[in-house]
A and B are shown apart, each in its own frame.
Chain A
Amino acid sequence: MNRLRQGATGLVLALALGGVSVAQTRTPEVQAYVQPRAGITDVTQVRLVIEIKGAQNPQVENPSIGGLENLRMLRNRPSVEQSTSFINGQVSASYRLIYTLLPERTGPASIPGLKVKVDGKSFTTEPIRFEVSPSPKRPEESGTEDNGRGSSGNVVFVETKLSRDEVWVGEPVMSTASVYSTLRVHDIGLAELPSFSQFLANSIPVDINAEATRAEIEGRGYAVYPVRRDLLIPLGPGTYTIDPYTIQIQVQSRRDAFDLFARGTTVIRKTEPTTLKVKPLPDNAPAGFGGAVGDFEFRASLDRVEATVNDAVALRVTVEGAGSLKAIDPPVWTEPTGVKVYDPEDNLETDIRNGTLISRKTWEWVIVPLAPGNIELDSVEFVFFEPRRGVYRTSTAPSLQLAVSEGDGLPIVGSGGDRSVISLDQKDIAFVKQLRGAALAYAAPPLYARWWFASLVLLPFFWVPYFVWLGRRRDLLQRDQGLARGRRARRRARKALRVIKKKMPESDSASFHETVARTLVEYVGDRFNRAPSGLTYELADELLAGRGVDEIVRRRFRACLETCDFARFVPASSKAARRSEVLEEATKLIDTLERAC
């Protein structure tokens, strides 16, 4: 028995100690490493892993990754992995922050020691150094250049093409990045974009598969996938180098075609930087030049040739053609006298046709004639630079005529008119209102804010509970006849006494006293739910005593009954004054008994 007890104690101690060792908080270990650990080439995506071991659900602040040598980060935000394993009775937890890096060139690369804060404590990882080697040739990915262009075998390469090598300031140029491949490719994505800091850049949507074409280069057939198109408008003169596009491509080799589970190989390709020469615009820009560069057509029109005073007339000026009209000023024209002109509204529409930007911009001025007569709007001029011929051109729309009549004589309104007014059927405002005997209303609180109206609203909510009580009481009385008699007793007795009083002058003494005595007995009978016929004076006294009625009151009750009996049998003893006293005493007695019972 003792052995058993000792063994159990030992087991409990061992388990407890073991539990403590598991529950003990160990100091976390933080280390950084890269994956793959070896064989990193200039096209390999490198995973920088920061691993924290020995901490359960650690609070980790993302470290600042800086000072990278020959590496750049593809995504600033790390992905997080967490795992817990149980090996040989040891619990081990691991928390990993993973960054994706890309080598910039072949040669040495390094990651400095990174400061990582875990649960409020700072740790510094060891610096990492490795060598970036040139990517080896594989049959399906031949070519060691960044863009992947090679001379033999199967090739996947990328290329940026500019629609022009030399343009003027403000002249649009299209930059297209494409993938050329002799193999099947899928999941093409952009890993990095150029900055385009010297340009006004607009991305043009591309449907990679729908726009794929075929091309033959040096006798070899390629599928060409346009990946990205950017419309660039140079903001100033100079020679600009456009940074490379970095493109990630999933390549499927011919060998993979027979493998149902093959996911292909991911390759990273970078286009070559491209150079664009931007020429400054000539200095001799005519007055009115608003920055438009392209080949444009220009027209101006009024939405009508006849109007009345105070009508709203629209002057529309439209410029349309190849080139950008995004940031240009409206054409200049001289306002004639006798009209009010409002600031124009503009509308810009753009489209890409055969790789060329087509723009159409419309300005619309609202003109309100203030007086009748013929108004001539001077010719409107639009100045633009035509890059094809390298000259400024001035396009002129002919002058416009507007005949203004008196109209319906509406007053000239300070803020002008609106186009919608002409579509109204009503020609004028209705006449002023008359009193017609109805006095004017004075400022007063609204109906809902008046106290009596609030009372009207609230009253039904008060009477409903009363009727609920009334209904219940009626129901109770219907069910309990004794209670009903008791409740009615006083009322009936008082009523009977009133009748007796009324008939007192003509009634004889015997019948008067008999009725008074009967009323008193019937009152007691009603109060105690007893038949009056079987109610003797003694029994009535007993019942009253049973309800705790005072001895003096009972005596008064008995005396009143006896007085009535005596008067019934000795009528001469009762005078008129005496009768009134008896009646008054009976009335008082009923009130007293009502309170006492």
Chain B
Amino acid sequence: MLSGLHRLFVIGLLMTTLPVAAETAEEAFERGNEAYAAGDWSTAAAEYRTVLDFRVQDARVHYNLGNSEFRLGRLGPAILHYEKAKRLDPSDREIRANLGFVQGYRFDRVEVAETFLLIKKLQEAQEALGLDGQAWIVVGLLWISGGLLAWGLARPGKFGPGYGWVLTALAILLLVTGLSWWNSFERLERRRFAVVMAPATEVIAGPGPSNPSLLTIHEGLTVEILEEREDWIQVSLPNGINGWIATQAVGRV
């Protein structure tokens, strides 16, 4: 049983940790935008962070926060928030453009192998539809195919060869869209990434400071997380090199 004083203390503590109930995330977002437009990037960044405290998961917030961080000269946090925004809305051109622009300020030059045009276009289409868009297409095709199949099964012998061709075409379309969804899921959801936040950090051969250093990477470099072990994460660099870096040196996308 809490005494009256304790209860007051707990309520006071809750009021300090939670955003003020009267304020909405949208209001904080608007205030952030106003501060940004006025050139007060530090206030803007603080307001966008307040929005995130509401458990908002919106690409626009991360994008705007990325802008503010970049204006404040913080390359690592800027790239981290652009990457988060891109993860939430991979089809947004502005997010991709800003991310690409800011990545140009990184110290580490990243050479990425050129993707085939067809695969590039396919990936663009996948990103434009997003995971949810593709999921709806798959469900729609599943229902149409299932309905058509049920109709045929309920009236055996009533349909000609055209029915079979339509059903086959639908099945192929369903398979392709299903695989495309799975590919997007693996590419956009399952893979975990992190951005180097420290000005420079060493990539070492194993999880522990006694391992030899392989190379040094710098702020803003995006790496893929392969494995985590206590205070160390195994990462894959864009050029394929694998190594371990300290967890505290990166921010997770």
Contacts and interface: CB of A to CB of B under 8 A. Distances in A.
Interface in B70-114: 70-76, 88, 94, 97-98, 100-102, 104-107, 109
A415 B220 contact: yes
A414 B199 contact: yes
Interface string A425-438: 01011111111000
Given A417-B105, A471-B155, A447 B56 contact: no
Contacts of B94: 430, 433
A415 B219 contact: yes
Bin the interface of chain B by size: 35 or more
A430 B96 CA distance: 10
> Majority SS of interface residues in chain B?
helix
Contacts of A417: 104-105
A443 B84 CA distance: 13
A421 B56 contact: no
Given A424-B104, A433-B63, A464-B149, A414 B75 contact: yes
Contacts of B138: 457
Contacts of A429: 67, 70, 97-98, 101-102
A418 B106 contact: yes
Interface residues of A, number: 48
Interface string A190-209: 00000000000000000000
Which of A434, A444, A447 has the largest count of B CB atoms less than 10 A from its CB? Answer: A447
A448 B67 contact: no
Given A415-B220, A474-B154, A474-B155, A430 B98 contact: yes
B218 A442 contact: no
Contacts of B185: 448
Contacts of A411: 70-73
Interface stretch (B9-17, B26-34, B117-125, B231-239): B26-34
Interface in B125-151: 131-132, 135-136, 138-139, 142-143, 145-147, 149-151
A471 B154 contact: yes
A434 B71 CA distance: 18
Contacts of B25: 440, 442
Contacts of A258: none
A440 B61 contact: yes
A447 B135 contact: yes
A93 to B, nearest CB: 50
Given A432-B36, A435-B60, A453-B135, 15 more contacts: A418-B104, A421-B101, A424-B104, A426-B100, A432-B64, A433-B64, A439-B26, A448-B135, A448-B185, A459-B146, A460-B145, A460-B146, A464-B146, A464-B149, A475-B157
Interface of A: 342, 366, 411-421, 424, 426, 428-435, 439-444, 446-448, 453, 456-457, 459-461, 463-464, 466-468, 470-472, 474-475
